[in-house]
Amino acid sequence: MATYEDLKAKAEAAWAPFEEPQRPLIKVGVTTCSRVAGALETLAAVRAELAARGLEADVMVTGCWGLCYAEPLVEVRRPGRPGVLYGNLTADKVAGLIEGTLGAEGAAPELALAVLADASLDGVPPLRSLEFFAGQERRLMANCGVIDPEEIDHYIAHGGYEGLAKALAMTDEQVIAEVLESGLWGRGGAAFPTGRKWDFLRTAPVTPKYMICNADEGDPGSFVNRNLMESDPHLVIEGMVIGGYATGASYGYIYIREEYPLPVERMERAVEQARERGLLGSNVLGTGFAFDLEVVRGAGSYVCGEETGLIASIEGSRGMPRIRPPFPAQAGVFGKPSNVNNVESYANAPLIMRNGAAWYASVGSEKHKGTKMFSLSGQVRRVGILEAPLGTPMSDVVVGAGGGSPEGRALKAVQPGGPLSGIVPASDVGIALEPEPFRERGMFMGSGGLVVIDDSNCVLDLAIYFEWFAEDESCGRCTTCFAGTRRLLEILRRIASGRGRNSDPEIMRLLADTMRYANCVHGQAAPTAVMSMFRFFEEELNEHLQNKRCPAKVCRELVRYEVVHHSDRLPQAEAICPTAAVVRENGHYRIDQGKCIKCDACREQAPYAIAVVDAFGP
Amino acid sequence: MTRITAGPPHSSRYAAADTPPDDAELAAKVRELIAGLSPDSADLLTAFHRIQHEYGYVPREAIPVLAGQFGTTPAMLYGALDFYSEICTAPPSGTTVEWCSGPACLLKGSTNIRRVLESVLGCAMNENTPDGAFGLRLVQCDGTCHLAPLLRLEGKYLGPLSVSDAIKLARGLKGGPQREAGGDGEKPAGVPEGGEES
């Protein structure tokens, strides 16, 4: 049986050619977000271009740096020089890149995004100087974009499985003590101390015990777990094996949502490789500790992200959450003691074991140690994934890294962590990214999604979306939740259609108060966005309610389209209209309100001539 | 009357409660697909995925076979199957346009795109056209938000899309002539009738 030292020596030998390449090395990031931007085409074009030119170079697939806004991303390294990153490198730019870097032996600065060094090179700025990277502390993401996620040796050569080797030399109680001391808490949203959760399972008297990884990242707008699983899958596996050792669990499940085919593929491959190396199986690293795991693919249900729902889904029944207690540590999957943690929680464990709790706690705020990954999307200039110390002001991430709202528009709000987490107004964008400031505002920080909202968006429209989502995904077990969400949705839609009643806010408050008694957090938290709206956007809500007016002109029943000017572009508007509502009579254009579906296509074509006006009022 | 709904109707169900036709060939194929899977090792979702991968949906004839293998009743098994929105109980349409319902897409105007797709293709969300040629499907956010608002068509991601792009796409799929600017006598794509959700 191979020892950790044997594995490490072998892995370092395998990584050596990539550490100090003797010939040019081209790395292409291939992940979900880059594939949709054309990374596979870029990869093929790189290979074809090298072959056509007869150039000697290595091509390597890597994970993702988190720069979604600049995908596809390519790194070129020439012997003896630092790597240079090239952004938005679609297949059509590959020939220019190869010519500029390998042909002319330059850095092709006109295509370059950043250089992977401390100082700039040929006018290309260092990665750290990019606004997106400035406030980042990359620990979980240290390997993202650097290694090939399908090569276990790359991971081991970067310190992978060292934490496991250290843990296996300790007692289970020592491992848990180390995790407790680090201050790590669950990253899935509930923020429960991971060490304590593990200790519940360790002291459970029944065997077998199970480790479950919740990779059902169902919060729309959150995609941090996806990036980690497809860029550095072994980090998650190592965390689960450490957890298994600390708690006495012998088997694990990684439950990945249906919408993530690439993470499923890469995790499955990583599990196989770990088994081949003796890092999983009946005798982990020759210590006699037995642990194995498998990947379970979900099938499109949001509530399966709730731990008891997830357990029901693994067991093969409807994925409906149940009342706790009993908690999973008492009776989890197949009625046996189980521990459910988020992907990111597990991924922190190897770092804590490798570097120690003191190192781990060296960043973060006074109360909360370590880092957290965040995904930025919506009305923000730079969409992407980043990692920052806990306690970082949210404005540093949204405005600093993300670049704030698009040109000419103002930041209105930020929606953190998923549809059940609430809406933070722009005036509070400076709050620290840790649980308390959100809790004080009746919200949750959630699992890491940050969806940015600007002044072209309507808060009521957004609240309707969140409530629709909660209603659609309600499992149907408790009336409090399935009827409560439906009733809230009806009232919100009524207000958005201009038929709101003065008593509506009071009814919604009453409903929200009742829903706190729902069986699981899905129903309990479903009214959060509505409550945020009452608290921070009352004026906007009242405009809908009292004046039948949508200030952002989004709510369709409160606006209509009108031809307000003449323009040469009106024929285009007439042609694009899907319902023939742009009518020409005697050379004049008007909108047939009976036919108009308010899709905005005509205004896209003729923005000067066609305007959105209030349907009611002056 | 327009039919823009803010939420999807329920997923399609199997037709009226008659006994499933006895299809020995299909049953044998399903048995082969799920051989070795067992209820004690978290395999039911795997079974659904394998059958759906083969047929594009889970045919109702597969239910008794699955129930037998997993030691449960067809009703219990159907209950589990029906819970998951990604498991289909009806054959997919010829061309399915997948519309992302995520928040980033919403903020960037996906509701308008939904309206024009429903209007031009002539079917509501999560439904197929009567001839089965086209279908619209609501999908959840998978974090490809740099392309918002986006559509997925035959595995390809299209975005960021303007409403006009979506109209042209849908018209192109329909195979009808693209209406040129100022063109006369072209009949507009009709708005489907009924189905308004209040």
Listed residues A431, A454, A477: the one ending a domain = A454
Residue A495's domain is classified under what CATH number?
1.20.1440.230
pLDDT of residue A190: 83
Together in a domain, A270 and A323: yes
Together in a domain, A92 and A189: no
Residues B2, A597: C-beta atoms closer than 8 Å: yes
Q: Which residues of B touch A595 (CB under 8 A)?
A: 191
Residues B179, A579: C-beta atoms closer than 8 Å: no
Res A517 pLDDT > 60: yes
**Which among A316, A451, A600 has CB closest to B39?**
A316
CA distance A198 to B44: 28
**Which among A217, A377, A577 has CB closest to B104?**
A377
Q: Which residues of A touch B120 (CB under 8 A)?
A: 578
pLDDT of residue A189: 83
Query: Structural domain of residue A329, as residue ranges?
Result: 160-359
Residues A576, B167: C-beta atoms closer than 8 Å: yes
Res A572 pLDDT > 80: yes
A-contacting residues in B 147-176 (Cβ below 8 Å): 147-148, 157, 162-164, 167, 170
Together in a domain, A312 and A346: yes
Q: How far is A504 from chain B (nearest CA, A)?
A: 17
pLDDT of residue B23: 80
Report yes or no: A286 and A237 within 8 Å, Cβ to Cβ: no
Q: Which residues of A touch B163 (CB under 8 A)?
A: 599-601, 604
pLDDT of residue A200: 97
pLDDT of residue A106: 87
Contacts of B44 (CB under 8 A, 6+ apart): A316, B37, B70, B80
Q: How far is A120 from chain B (nearest CA, A)?
A: 28
Res A43 pLDDT > 50: yes
A89 falls within a domain: yes
The answer to whether B46 contacts chain A (CB < 8 Å) is yes
- Residue A191 vs residue B7, higher pLDDT: A191
The ipTM assigned to this model is: 0.95
- Count CA atoms closer than 13 A to A436's CA, side-chain side: 9
Other C-beta atoms within 10 Å of B185: how many? 4
**Which among B46, B119, B147 has CB closest to A578?**
B119
pLDDT of residue A505: 96
Res A458 pLDDT > 90: yes
**Which among B45, B162, B181 has CB closest to A298?**
B45
β-bridge mates for residue A339, sequence order: A211
Report yes or no: A59 and A97 within 8 Å, Cβ to Cβ: no
A143 falls within a domain: no
**Chain pair A-B, CB pairs under 8 angstroms:** 196
List pLDDT tens digits, range B123-170: 999 999 999 999 999 999 999 999 999 999 998 999 999 999 999 999
Quote the mean pLDDT of chain A. 96
Together in a domain, A540 and A496: yes
**Which among B139, B181, B188 has CB closest to A579?**
B188
A54 falls within a domain: yes
pTM for the model: 0.93
Among A35, A268, A489, A599, the residue to mutate for chain B (most B Cβ within 10 A): A599
The pLDDT confidence band at residue B181, using thresholds 50, 70 and 90, is: very low
Q: Which residue in A has a C-alpha nearest to residue B183's C-alpha?
A: A575
Q: Which residue in B has a C-alpha nearest to residue A32's C-alpha?
A: B144
Listed residues A399, A424, A454: the one ending a domain = A454
Q: Which residue in B has a C-alpha nearest to residue A467's C-alpha?
A: B7
Q: How far is B155 from chain A (nearest CA, A)?
A: 9
A364 falls within a domain: no
A541 falls within a domain: yes
Together in a domain, A174 and A278: yes
Together in a domain, A265 and A353: yes
Q: Which residues of B touch A297 (CB under 8 A)?
A: 45-46, 49
Residues B157, A36: C-beta atoms closer than 8 Å: yes
User: Quick one: tokens of A290?
Assistant: 């037995």
Together in a domain, A533 and A573: no
Report yes or no: B82 and B11 within 8 Å, Cβ to Cβ: yes
List pLDDT tens digits, range A591-604: 999 999 999 999 99
Q: Would you give the distance in Å from CA A265 to the centre of its chain?
A: 18
- CA A254, A260, A263: angle at the middle one, nearest 5? 60
User: Quick one: tokens of A456?
Assistant: 């072209």
Total domains, chain A: 5
Residue A50's domain is classified under what CATH number?
3.40.30.10
Q: SS in 3 state form for B9-40? A: CCCCCCCCCCCCCCCHHHHHHHHHHCCCCCHH
Q: How far is A21 from chain B (nearest CA, A)?
A: 33
The pLDDT confidence band at residue B180, using thresholds 50, 70 and 90, is: very low
Dmax (CA) for chain B in angstroms is 66
Together in a domain, A319 and A427: no
Among B40, B89, B142, the residue to mutate for chain A (most A Cβ within 10 A): B142
List pLDDT tens digits, range A382-438: 999 999 999 999 999 999 999 999 999 999 999 998 899 999 999 999 999 999 999
Q: How far is B72 from chain A (nearest CA, A)?
A: 10
The pLDDT confidence band at residue B19, using thresholds 50, 70 and 90, is: low
Q: Read off the amino acid at residue A136.
A: Q
Q: Which residue in A has a C-alpha nearest to residue B158's C-alpha?
A: A36
Cα dihedral B112→B117→B123→B129 (10° resolution): -170
Residue A404's domain is classified under what CATH number?
3.10.20.600
Q: Which residue in A has a C-alpha nearest to residue B160's C-alpha?
A: A37
pLDDT of residue B20: 57
Q: Which residues of B touch A302 (CB under 8 A)?
A: 140
A414 falls within a domain: yes
The pLDDT confidence band at residue A104, using thresholds 50, 70 and 90, is: confident
Average pLDDT over residues A21-40: 96
Together in a domain, A116 and A61: yes
Residue ranges with strand state E in A510-564: 559-563
Together in a domain, A344 and A221: yes
A-contacting residues in B 62-121 (Cβ below 8 Å): 70, 76, 79-80, 83-87, 101-104, 106-109, 111-112, 115-116, 119-120
Together in a domain, A379 and A299: no
Q: Which residues of B touch A465 (CB under 8 A)?
A: 103, 106
Q: Which residues of A touch B7 (CB under 8 A)?
A: 468, 471-472, 489
The matching CATH number, chosen from 3.40.30.10, 1.20.200.10, 3.40.309.10, 2.30.30.230, for B95-174 is 3.40.30.10
Listed residues A522, A547, A572: the one ending a domain = A547
A520 falls within a domain: yes
Together in a domain, A31 and A68: yes
Q: How far is B22 from chain A (nearest CA, A)?
A: 25
Q: How far is A389 from chain B (nearest CA, A)?
A: 22
**Which among B6, B40, B142 has CB closest to A464?**
B6
Q: What is the DSSP string of chain B?
A: -----SSPPPPP---SS-PPP--HHHHHHHHHHTTT--GGGT-HHHHHHHHHHHHSS--TTHHHHHHHHTTS-HHHHHHHHHH-TTS-SSPPPSEEEEEE--HHHHHTTHHHHHHHHIIIII--TT-B-TTSSEEEEEE---S-GGG-S-EEETTEEE-S--HHHHHHHHHHHHTPPPPPTT--SPPPPPPPPS----
CATH 3.40.30.10 residue window(s) in chain B: 95-174
Res A188 pLDDT > 50: yes
Long-range contacts of A571-574 (CB under 8 A, 24+ apart): A571/B181, A571/B182, A572/A605, A572/A606, A572/B181, A573/A601, A573/A602, A573/A603, A573/A605, A573/A606, A573/A609, A573/A610, A574/A602, A574/B181, A574/B182
pLDDT of residue B175: 84
A5 falls within a domain: no
Res B195 pLDDT > 80: no
pLDDT of residue A617: 67
List pLDDT tens digits, range A231-284: 999 999 999 999 999 999 999 999 999 999 999 999 999 999 999 999 999 999
